[in-house]
Amino acid sequence: MKKVKLAVITSIAGLSMAMSANANAMDKQTENALVEVCKSAASDKSYKMHKTINEFNLSHKTVALKVMCNGQDIIAFAESHGAEKTAARLQRSIGDVDIIDVAALSKINVTFEE
């Protein structure tokens, strides 16, 4: 199980590097997965978001730190949709983060129509 998580995190890191090189390089399956994660975060149903994140073998921390929905980081996106429960859950998943850690991250952005 740890190997699967490591593989997913590694693939997301690799995907984020590839995304910075070519903004349109995201494959359809990955884009659809991230759109589902964004939609579940906006739903304010913490269990639904948890289930969606687990369905795609992602970690809450990775999602909270790397996913952007319609140009906003996922926590701000959830808050802008009034989804305080899911935003709080994602915020708790980050834990203590230094400014240096956040600055070093590259984000994966997915844009979709609601």
Q: What is the pTM of this model?
A: 0.64
pLDDT tens digits for range 66-98: 999 999 999 999 999 999 999 999 999 987 655
Q: How confident is the model at residue 50 (pLDDT cuts 50, 70, 90)?
A: very high
State how many domains the chain has: 1
Query: By C-alpha distance, which of 57, 109, 71, 64 is closest to 91?
Result: 64
Structure token digits, residue 47:
């269990």
- What is the residue range of 30's domain? 2-110
Q: What is the mean predicted confidence (pLDDT) over 16-28?
A: 59
pLDDT at 36: 94
Cα 81 from Cα 69, distance rounded (Å): 12
